[in-house]
Amino acid sequence: MQFSFETTVRIVDALAGKGLGEEIAVHGWVRTRRSSKSVTFVELNDGSCMSSLQIIFDADSPVAADELERMQTGASMEARGTLSESPGGRQSVELRATEARVIGEASADRYPLQKKRHSFEYLREIAHLRARTNTFGAIARLRNTLSMATHRFFQDYGFYSLHSPIITASDAEGAGELFQVTTLPLDELAAAETQLDYSRDFFAKPAYLTVSGQLNAEIYACALERVYTFGPTFRAENSNTTRHLAEFWMIEPEMAFCDLDGNIEIAERYLRRLIEAALRESSEDMQFFDKRIRPGLLNELEHLLASDFTRITYREAIEALQRSGKEFEFTPSWGADLQSEHERYLTEELYNGPVIVTDYPKEIKAFYMKLNPDGETVRAMDVLVPYLGEIIGGSQREDDLELLKRRIDEAGLDREAYWWYLDLRRFGTVPHSGFGLGFERLVRYLSGMQNIRDVIPFPRTVRSAEF
Ligand code: 4AD
Ligand code: MG
């Protein structure tokens, strides 16, 4: 038997009836094997869907008994036979094998994935195998659905996909949470306790992994009008929470000739489109999440699609929190960032749905956000959702040269380093806006998973970068 794209049927297609009544070949990994006196059943999974295909070896099967014995949980195998309707079984179809062999053995008692339900903590330690479980297979497929839906959404609205750089010399958020990239011999330098001489470094100056593609997206939006980036971003935030990663993926659209209202409009449509795509295109996996991960998930998402997003200013949010009569760990007050507990109150209790908070005090937001006429607040927007909190952060950008220079100074940043960013305001400046959606926050929200480490294939967090 040989592998061929033409003759192999993916299990998702076989279960939908492709090749029914015909001779087909399938490949995959054994989930379980049961034997009675005369029949052996193997549940085969190839990751193309949650369900496995039942392979049947009956009394007159030509497959040898010792080969059947090798079909243990975790082994890889191929099977050929006639795809037929399953009489009264749980599944619609089954494969009566006429030929089958194990490709790679796995000893069932040493295989780290046993039939019992493993904890997510344990599965994180075997991230090289967890993709073979129902949960992590479903997460991988959901990520695929959501990334394709992202490209389709922005393409439909006339955006161009932009590849922004991963190595950068500027701090796009001005928050100083950067991973440095260097070829300097750090060990030697540390031993010699010398001063760092950046002229010897690869870029002849300090360089970092990007925290956001936004500033580069602004350059292209000021030429192509609508662009979006979908790339990895890196933050050396020392926050050990269930919603922070050191490496995560972000989608950042940027639009010229667009103010904060237009920005909010696109963000809301995009979020709705993502939810629809998950429900429609990943329905089997979403049903699994609803049943096994977070009961009520599907109802909540349907409810969200049917409801309006609430829009309030930061001032209104603070007032609502103060009026709430709730005992918060962090007392809500003007000028303080909204904490997770505040976001939860607003989305889960007060408004029971997504909340878009705008017009934050300039002190707690990035230097590039457009100053309001009050001189105190900026045209920022955060989209908050129940059970997660912030999923999107964005703003209208400062397009006035003098105001932007002042904001860079106030933020304690070096104007020189942003000369090209300032140039965009010197030559053909234009009102423009954009936002960033954290892809793993999205996947966590739509799957109902508790921990962001379990919705990315290989999580990188403080003190942890295995696999
Ligand atoms: O709010 P943030 O920091 O905004 C920006 O980076 C802007 N440059 C976006 C823009 O306007 N183009 O991050 C955007 C989103 C957050 O709302 C959150 O969903 C996600 O990125 N995010 C993280 N996700 C996982 N781990 C982290 N450490 C994250 N930090 C932010
Ligand atoms: Mg933010």
Question: Following DSSP, what letter does each residue of 370-415 receive, concatenated?
Answer: PBPTTSSEEEEEEEEETTTEEEEEEEEBP--HHHHHHHHHHTT--G
Q: What is the pLDDT of residue 195?
A: 84
CA–CA distance, 362 with 377 (Å, rounded to integer): 5
- The number of the ligand 1 atom at minimal distance from the alpha carbon of 390 is 17
- The number of the ligand 1 atom at minimal distance from the alpha carbon of 383 is 17
- What is the distance in A from the centroid of ligand 2 to the CA of 267? 14
Q: Say if residue 60's pLDDT is above 90.
A: no
- What is the distance in A from the centroid of ligand 2 to the CA of 10? 41
* Residue of 447, 388, 436, 395 whose CA lies nearest to 244: 388
Ligand that comes closest to the CA of residue 394: 1
* Residue of 282, 235, 231, 209 whose CA lies nearest to 436: 231
CA–CA distance, 326 with 332 (Å, rounded to integer): 10
Give residue limits of the domains in the chain: 11-104, 130-454
Taking only the tens place, the pLDDT of each residue in 82-117 is 999 998 767 789 999 999 999 999 998 899 998 788
- The number of the ligand 1 atom at minimal distance from the alpha carbon of 217 is 12
**Residue 280 in contact with residue 288, Cβ under 8 Å?**
no
Mean pLDDT on 378-390: 97
- The number of the ligand 1 atom at minimal distance from the alpha carbon of 441 is 19
The CA distances from residue 192 to 186, 189, 399, in Å, are 10, 5, 47
Q: What is the pLDDT of residue 221?
A: 98
User: 3-class SS at 69?
Assistant: helix
CB count in 10 Å sphere of residue 49: 21
Q: What is the pLDDT of residue 10?
A: 96
Q: What is the pLDDT of residue 21?
A: 95
Give the side-chain half-sphere CA count within 13 A for 193: 0
Cβ-count burial of 2 within 10 angstroms (0-12 exposed, 13-18 middle, 19+ buried)?
exposed
DSSP state of 464: B
- What is the distance in A from the centroid of ligand 2 to the CA of 410? 19
Q: What is the pLDDT of residue 238?
A: 86
pLDDT band at 246 (very low <50, low <70, confident <90, very high): very high
> pTM for this one?
0.96
Give the residue whose CA is nearest to atom 31 of ligand 1: 438
The CA distances from residue 208 to 174, 176, 230, in Å, are 13, 10, 18
**Two domains, one topology: 11-104 and 130-454:** no
Mean pLDDT on 148-168: 98
Q: Say if residue 9's pLDDT is above 60.
A: yes
pLDDT band at 239 (very low <50, low <70, confident <90, very high): confident
Q: What is the pLDDT of residue 6?
A: 67
- What is the distance in A from the centroid of ligand 1 to the CA of 75? 41
CA–CA distance, 283 with 300 (Å, rounded to integer): 15
Give the residue whose CA is nearest to atom 4 of ligand 1: 393
For residue 198, give the H/E element and its range. none
Q: 383 has which bridge partners?
A: 356, 392
**Residue 159 in contact with residue 221, Cβ under 8 Å?**
no
Q: Which of 168, 250, 395, 435 to mutate to test the pocket of ligand 1 (most atoms within 8 A of CB)?
A: 250
CA–CA distance, 88 with 92 (Å, rounded to integer): 8
Mean pLDDT on 355-369: 97
Q: Which residues contact 459 (CB under 8 A, 6 or more apart)?
A: 124, 127, 245, 452, 453
Surrounding residues of ion ligand 2, Cβ less than 5 A: 393
Taking only the tens place, the pLDDT of each residue in 326-345 is 999 999 999 999 999 999 99
What is the domain class of 11-104 according to CATH?
A: mainly beta
Q: Which of 441, 442, 453, 456 to mutate to test the pocket of ligand 1 (most atoms within 8 A of CB)?
A: 441
Percent of the chain with pLDDT over 70: 99
- The number of the ligand 1 atom at minimal distance from the alpha carbon of 434 is 11
Residue 466's identity, in one-letter code, is E
Pocket of ligand 1 (CB under 6 A): 172-173, 212, 214, 235, 237, 244-245, 248, 250, 252, 390-395, 434-436, 438, 440-441
CA–CA distance, 96 with 463 (Å, rounded to integer): 50
- The number of the ligand 1 atom at minimal distance from the alpha carbon of 442 is 19
Q: Which of 178, 248, 439 to mutate to test the pocket of ligand 1 (most atoms within 8 A of CB)?
A: 248
Q: What is the pLDDT of residue 134?
A: 96
Q: What is the pLDDT of residue 198?
A: 94
Q: Is the dihedral of CA 284, 285, 288, 294 positive or negative?
A: negative
Strand arrangement of the beta sheet that strand 180-181 belongs to: 167-168, 207-209, 180-181
**Residue 216 in contact with residue 251, Cβ under 8 Å?**
no
Give the side-chain half-sphere CA count within 13 A for 108: 11
- What is the distance in A from the centroid of ligand 2 to the CA of 159? 23
Q: Which CATH superfamily is domain 130-454 in?
A: Bira Bifunctional Protein; Domain 2 (3.30.930.10)
Taking only the tens place, the pLDDT of each residue in 411-462 is 999 999 999 999 999 999 999 999 999 999 999 999 999 999 999 999 999 9
Tokens of 25: 């070949």
- What is the distance in A from the centroid of ligand 2 to the CA of 297? 25
For residue 130, give the H/E element and its range. none
- What is the distance in A from the centroid of ligand 1 to the CA of 12? 35
First to last CA, the chain: 33
Q: Say if residue 190's pLDDT is above 90.
A: no
How confident is the prediction for the chain on average, in pLDDT? 95
Taking only the tens place, the pLDDT of each residue in 247-282 is 999 999 999 999 999 999 999 999 999 999 999 999
Give the residue whose CA is nearest to atom 7 of ligand 1: 436
The DSSP line for 148-205 is: HHHHHHHHHTTPEE----SEESS-SSSS--PPEE--S-HHHHHHHTPPP-GGGSTTSS
